[in-house]
Amino acid sequence: MTTAEPASFRDPDTAVFYQDGRVLRGLSEQGKADWDRLAATKFLGELVAAGKVVRTTPFEGGAPLSPRGAPWAAVIEHERIPVISYPFEWPFALLKQAAVLHLEVLLAALGEGISMKDGYAYNVQFRGVAPTFIDLGSFEPAKGPWPGYRQFCQTLLFPLMIQAHLGIAYQSYLRGSVNGLEPGDVRGMFGGLRRFKKGVFRNVYLHSVLEKKVTTSTEQVKSQLKQAGFGLELAKATAGKLLKLVHKLDVKKRGSTWSDYRETCSYSDADASAKQAFVDGVAGAMAPGTVLDLGANDGEYSLIAARHAQQVIAVDADEPTIDAFARRLLAGGPGNVLPLVMDLVDPSPGIGWRNRERAPFPERVRPDLVFSLALVHHLAISANVPLPEVVGWLRSFDAPAVVEFVDRDDPMTKRLLANKPAGLFDDYRLDAFEKLLGEQFSLDKRELLPSGTRTLFLATPR
């Protein structure tokens, strides 16, 4: 069975599709010429060997016609990336990694007379916290200003700058538009002396002014940018300056509501040890392909799962905590854990053309094991999600789940209930939850932690 990649339709010379689990790319005559030129370069093999560009080989099998009805001139096959994630799900440390990689690949290509058509954040994906460039159709002979400069600014540089310089989280802006942040909008954020922060005047103000002056053709925009120092002869220097700028962008160590959860939560040492043993035992027995850790916090249980799973997706709404976890992984953690920022009550939807260009989160992640640890009480009490809805949501992953229920008598639950109207959550009880869970799952294992207020379940979908 062959299906087209919904996000791959704008470039007439190349398109991605899937065939029996394989990732293929069709090439027009021009696309084939660009690929043949690229495949003959030295830098491509070096970057592939380093894991910085996705491994790609010729494909000799059959392929569907192009969207315009003509046969492809050639088809190539890409190594499959285990999990597809999006820039608005990446914490600061990972978006920065993506920006650095994009520029490193560009500089390597320019060294052999090749440039890129675009500078799109979505052209990078992650294996754990290691970024990989995936759009082999983006390369073309270098022949003028870098066409991807604007896209790079909108989807990578501007988001990093507003968070590094202004403390404004970029995730909602990137989620709001697949095209990223508009130069004029970003310019408005850098009023007064803020315009003189590192990299702002050149990449935000100048960019915005040129866009206002030139509104007719792409060639005129290129001409203006060339006059401003973005011509081919300065392409390497420009990319080098951008790389230096990105390296310098960072955020100060940040606290948040949940960044010190490990110190303030109500776990005793006995509870923590028993919970770790339960999780380790389940993951070890299953040896799952993909573990989805919902409400991962600082990643303690994701790291336990990483010992046994092929890959772990650690999801939490608290960006500072997930960013700290990402930095920990970058400093030497296991290479099979991907930390993502996401509000589980408002998860990533389908966005872009027909709401299909970028798929919703549940369509991109198919877990073999789900963790819902110290999460149910936050969904039910903090977010007012009824318990039947919580259980139905867990069932929708169609995978075994390790679920923790924190009872009403637990100090953390008492804290959450303190500001809620009396009687509103009377149905929040262990017996009620266990009954609901048992209606949709087989409860294969149940363990009350030593504190007596927290219960762990291993639940398998019926």
Q: How far is CA 39 from CA 25, 114, 137, 294, 440, in A?
A: 14, 11, 12, 41, 52
* Local confidence band at 234 (pLDDT 50, 70, 90 cut-offs): confident
Find out if CATH 3.30.70.260 is the number for domain 261-461. Answer: no
Question: Residue 236: which pLDDT band, with cuts at 50, 70 and 90?
Answer: confident
Task: Determine the Cα–Cα distance for residues 224 and 231; give it in Å rounded to an integer.
Answer: 9
Question: Given its phi and psi angles, is residue 102 left (phi above 0), alpha (psi -120 to 50 degrees) or beta?
Answer: alpha
Domain residue ranges in the chain: 1-80, 85-252, 261-461
Average pLDDT over residues 400-426: 93
Q: Which amino acid, 370? A: V
Residue 1 pLDDT > 80, yes or no? no
26, HSE (Cβ side, Cα atoms, 13 Å): 27
Output the CA torsion 159→162→168→173 (10° steps).
Answer: -30
Task: Determine the pLDDT at residue 223.
Answer: 57
- Can you give the pTM of this predicted structure? 0.92
Residue 256 has pLDDT above 70, yes or no: no
Q: Is the pLDDT of residue 67 over 80?
A: no
- How long, in residues, is the chain? 462
pLDDT at 258: 53
Q: Over 70: is that where the pLDDT of 98 sits?
A: yes
Instruction: Read off the pLDDT band of 216 (50, 70, 90).
Output: very low
- Domain 1-80, what fold? Phosphorylase Kinase; domain 1 (3.30.200)
